[in-house]
Structure 1
Amino acid sequence: MGDLHQPAKKEHPISTPAGFAEVLRRHRRAARLTLERLAEVSGVSARTLSDMERGRSKGPQHRTVTALADALGLADADRRQLVELAREGRLRDRWARPSGLCELPRSVEDFTGRAAGLAWTGELLRAGDAPGAAGVGLITGSAGLGKTTLAVRAAHALRPDFPGGVFFLDLFGMSAHPLPADEALGLLLRALGVADQQIPGDVAGCASLYRSLLRVRRVLVVLDNAAFEEQVRPLLPGGGAGRALVTSRRLLAGLEGVRRLALGPLPPAEATELLTGILKERGASDDGPAVGGLARLCGGLPLALRIAGNRLVSRPGWNAADLAARLADEERRLEQLSAGDLKVATAFGLSYEQLAASTRRVFRRLALVPGRTFDAALAAVAGGTSIGEAWDALDELVDLGLLHDSTSGRYRFHDLVRLFARDRLQQEESAAERDALTVAMTSWLLRTATTAGRWFEPGYGDPGHAAPDAAELSSAEEADRWLRVNADNWLGALRHAAGTGRFAVVLDCTESMDWFSDRWMHAPHWYEVFTLGVEAAAALDDPARQAENLNMLAWVHLMSRDDPETTLLHTAQAMDLATRSGATTQIALAHHHAGGALRRLGRLDEAIASETRAAAIHKTNGDIDRYCHCLGALATCLRDAGHHAEAMERYLDLLALLDDDRPGVTPSVAAIVRPIALARVGECLALLGNRAEAVVKLTEAIGLMERVQLPVPQARSLETLAALLAEEDRTGESRHAYARAAEVYEAVGDAEASRRCRDLADA
């Protein structure tokens, strides 16, 4: 009971260990010394002692602490305690203040563009601490695109958001010896204030300590020029307050939990703006168009723009036009893009040296590809390797930014990278090797193009006819796509073959395009293709084949150039050559194309006579496919001559012929002729006053044209349909048809017709 009357024990909170200031003050008082007296005895100033006891100086140097311990007469445990508390204070003090290590480089004052990239980094790095979010941004792209410049610019702009510090570390990813992860971690830990003796001796321990610091400290670490995933992975935060921004020429596809930004060249306006900003230092204005032209020659590559600008700034006597004239020479462009230690070729060379020997060979040989894009099949031919090995090489080149790829499986160079590849080819392979490679590549392209073109000849590939000799083109659809996407490649090969006197190969290719050209009549290159064919046949002194190519050239002037007078000149030449050589098919074709030109010129009686003669010859020859073409053309002449009912009867006869299996019209030919004939029936019905039925026929024809990809006739039929719908007061449908016609005209490059239809759609 007595215990109940005892006063309750007072509970104390758990005490924290005394700090250096408190322990020093206790020892001074125990020694009965004033600050001034301790200062006098120890040799440490009274001001410094006051800062220590007030906690303003938590970690004095070891020699200072030793002097104080001697003055206070401390020994053994008391002495060790004071020394240890001072050491811990020094560590905490180091963590709390900037170390000067891994300092962020300066940002260039004339930084231009990349607004989307800056916004991306700001959004990513300012984002809240979502659970599991690592807060890592990866900026990739080829040499010279300004990845580091963008990262540094963003880091400077974001510095206020990171009170714990902003740090920068070059990982030397393109050197022969990239910075090892353990060394990188050591540098970063020291920058974060960790003393050498506190840094673990293994990578796993360093990475764990590093992540623990970034989890609680709001810091941004810029990891520049990363080499590979294994180097970067230990340097990334594991979540929490810290953020990281990584740049690399490689895609680093194996990194998980990062957000990616792929840089491309600057658009023309931003490239010109950057160059203009650099040139402000000259104090003289350069001609605007000349600066824009110089920017275009730099291909939107910030490094090239910087070099060009620096060269002009350092040479006041030059102007932009002078330097542009030097860069216009492709053979010397890379040589000219050099200013001091800045060289575009050197930047590309660092990436080139990272490649396997087999990939370097593929890379430099791809410089000989005639067109702007290519696929793995052509890369295999260029590299003299298998398709599988070509895929591997292309993947490596894309990974390092030396090639750009697309979802369609096509690859392309940046213009300056192509020049670098060509330079490597000239330096590393002999002229004989280059010539042999060019012949092999052009031969493959022309052989494939010729096979692809023949897919559209009547009967080709059918049972009983010759089978395709290019296994990779197993259908007309594949052949069509190959010819379209590789047009600049096989056309370049055709030019080379013509220039080196391989005229028989040229003729095989041009003649194979006869039927395919009907499917792609708006393509801009047919004039050159068939002109090369005419010249090759003349060089071989083959009048029949010269007549054939002249007829195709006449077709080009009639269909895409709208030049009937020149068409008549070519058909007259073709008629003479075909007559002398007995080439009846070419005689008929000359009559047919002449009929089209005469119709355009309003000489309708002559046009009807020419088409009638052409139809008769084809019928006699048993060429039903070409006979169908002539029947349709004859009906069109009758329509234009005002014989609308007779014209419609001829079109209906043609449609009946196409639907009859007995004459043997080739399905691919029928697929093209049928929608055109159907559209002409619609036009005749309209001329005869039956607009409602005309709308039905035209609508059906337009659908068929879209299915078989006949954009030019489709656009014209849409325009005709739109006018009929307007006459029927179906205004909304009319506007829709005009708008669709405008789109198709625009797609085939007829800007004037597109504007006309657009205006009518908006009226």
Structure 2
Amino acid sequence: MRDNTQEQLHRLRSLRIVAGLTIEELAVRSGVSPRTIGGIERHRIHRPHHGTLRALGAALGLDVRDAGQLHAAGEQVAGVTGLPGVTAHFTGRHDEIAWLTRQLRRRPAVQLIGLPGAGKTALAVQAATVLAERFPDGVRFPGPVADATAATIARRLLPPSDPASHGPDPVAIGAYRDLLRHRRILVLLDDVRDDRQVGPLLPPDALGVTLITGRHPLTGLPATDRRLVPPLPAADARAALTAMVDGTAPAPAVAALAAGCGGLPLALRVTANRLLTRPQWSAQWLIDRLGRPERVLDALVAGDLSVRDAFERTYAGLPARARRAVRLLTRPAGPVPAEAGFLDLAERGWVTAGREHRYEPHPLVRAFARVAPGT
């Protein structure tokens, strides 16, 4: 009997984050208390009431078929899962979706990488939703795979009725490879950490296609099959934040706030949340804090959404030379020289390459460098 404890723990949280909601916002939408939602996500509540799960599924935009993703851990049907609802106020990304449309037609696997909070998962879900009709055998989204092994991922995605899903690791992996060879499916693997998690799962003759998001580039994939997801351009960032705040702040303030967020979707989402849930705080108060490097990360926190936390999690997994390069960003504003580690940061979107082998960090990366562990 497979243990779905970790799968259930990640399932609700991943669906909530993809939907762009804090625990408090999901509580308002669903009528389920924040304490109950937190208990389900942390697996302190092992068997939520079916009415609770139905309410959460409806608030997350799941249809009746996909609401099975929120079954209690003991009853979870792991593997065949649909996509969560697309992120509210999804804006722009036309070039990235066009690239995915081309690549997913001819490549067995592609990867999206980028800054923490750049919206990789939201983009992947949006693209998979748009392209779903290409895949008559369905779209499968097992939630974040993070620390899962290749065999664990295979078991999540195999039908539970398949004996291989309960067999030894090589049997489960072999059965999953056969599934990809013979089924026209799209599999979205979110938050992949390294090649060992997915390399064994990708047969070269696959009929199915795998869309991967991750914090670090997978060296097992050709560079042409990886796409860096940049922050939103200024116009798209303003449009996204305008839609999120829904008239609660004047246009000049929205423009200033979007600029202070550097186009980072997570930062925009946190900013909108703070404006909507704390009306006693003026937009100008928040603008002032976003303009101060020593205060900006403290301002970009709303409930369990935190730009600083997102950076810290990814920073911990960077190579040592890249972590050292981040700490060098505490120098005065302006391009930094090409020292060891900056190439690692550039391919992850933390800095952009400029002239004369110098790099320009994203403003929130520079702010994070002030508080990065070891600084």
Give TM-score scaled by structure 2 length.
Answer: 0.72
User: Of 147, 162, 165, which aligns to 1:195?
Assistant: 162
Q: Give the CA deviation at 1:113.
A: 0.9
CA contact (8 A) 2:118 2:229 kept: yes
Distance in 2 separating the partners of 1:356 and 1:243: 29
- Report the equivalent of 2:359: 411
Q: Give the CA deviation at 1:179.
A: 1.0
Residue 87 (structure 2) pairs with residue 108 (structure 1) = yes
Distance in 2 separating the partners of 1:144 and 1:361: 21
- Report the equivalent of 2:284: 321
Distance in 2 separating the partners of 1:308 and 1:267: 17
Looking at secondary structure, tell me which structure has more helix per residue.
1
Residue 338 (structure 2) pairs with residue 369 (structure 1) = no
Q: Give the CA deviation at 1:263.
A: 1.0
- Report the equivalent of 1:394: 342
Residue 265 (structure 2) pairs with residue 302 (structure 1) = yes
Distance in 2 separating the partners of 1:368 and 1:220: 42
User: Of 185, 188, 202, which aligns to 2:154?
Assistant: 185
Q: Give the CA deviation at 1:290.
A: 1.1
Distance in 2 separating the partners of 1:334 and 1:266: 19
Residue 307 (structure 2) pairs with residue 344 (structure 1) = yes
- Report the equivalent of 2:197: 231
Distance 1:266 1:156, change over 3 A: same
CA contact (8 A) 1:214 1:241 kept: yes
SS in 2 for 1:352: helix
CA contact (8 A) 2:228 2:348 kept: no
The size of the alignment, in residue pairs, is 299
Please list the CA deviations of residues 204-253 of structure 1 after superposition, one character each: whole Å capped at 9, or x if unmatched.
x4333222222221211001111111222123353343111111121223
Residue 88 (structure 2) pairs with residue 122 (structure 1) = no
Q: Which amino acid aligns with 2:220?
A: G
CA contact (8 A) 2:158 2:165 kept: no
Distance in 1 separating the partners of 2:345 and 2:96: 24
Distance in 2 separating the partners of 1:194 and 1:123: 34
Q: Which runs of 5+ in 1 are unaligned?
A: 1-97, 128-132, 380-390, 430-763
Residue 233 (structure 2) pairs with residue 267 (structure 1) = yes
CA contact (8 A) 1:249 1:401 kept: no
Distance 1:198 1:252, change over 3 A: closer
Looking at secondary structure, tell me which structure has more strand per residue.
2
Please list the CA deviations of residues 371-396 of structure 1 after superposition, one character each: whole Å capped at 9, or x if unmatched.
422223xx4xxxxxxxxxxx2x3344
CA contact (8 A) 1:134 1:239 kept: no
Structure whose alpha-carbon radius of gyration is higher: 1
Residue 187 (structure 2) pairs with residue 221 (structure 1) = yes
CA contact (8 A) 1:215 1:241 kept: yes
Q: Which amino acid aligns with 2:272?
A: G
CA contact (8 A) 1:291 1:321 kept: no
Distance 1:250 1:145, change over 3 A: same
The CA RMSD over aligned residues, in Å, is 2.5
Distance in 1 separating the partners of 2:148 and 2:122: 20
Distance in 2 separating the partners of 1:199 and 1:395: 43
SS in 1 for 2:158: helix
Residue 350 (structure 2) pairs with residue 420 (structure 1) = no
Distance 1:168 1:370, change over 3 A: same
Distance in 2 separating the partners of 1:296 and 1:257: 31
Distance 1:423 1:399, change over 3 A: same
Give TM-score scaled by structure 1 length.
Answer: 0.37
Distance in 1 separating the partners of 2:205 and 2:291: 51
SS in 2 for 1:331: coil
Distance in 2 separating the partners of 1:300 and 1:114: 12
User: Of 96, 120, 136, which aligns to 2:109?
Assistant: 136
Identical pairs, percent: 39
CA contact (8 A) 1:136 1:258 kept: no
CA contact (8 A) 2:186 2:208 kept: yes
User: Of 174, 192, 199, which aligns to 1:208?
Assistant: 174
User: Of 286, 292, 303, which aligns to 2:249?
Assistant: 286
Distance 1:399 1:134, change over 3 A: same
Please list the CA deviations of residues 648-691 of structure 1 after superposition, one character each: whole Å capped at 9, or x if unmatched.
xxxxxxxxxxxxxxxxxxxxxxxxxxxxxxxxxxxxxxxxxxxx
User: Of 242, 248, 267, which aligns to 1:276?
Assistant: 242
Distance 1:259 1:357, change over 3 A: closer
Distance in 1 separating the partners of 2:180 and 2:259: 43
Q: Give the CA deviation at 1:308.
A: 0.3
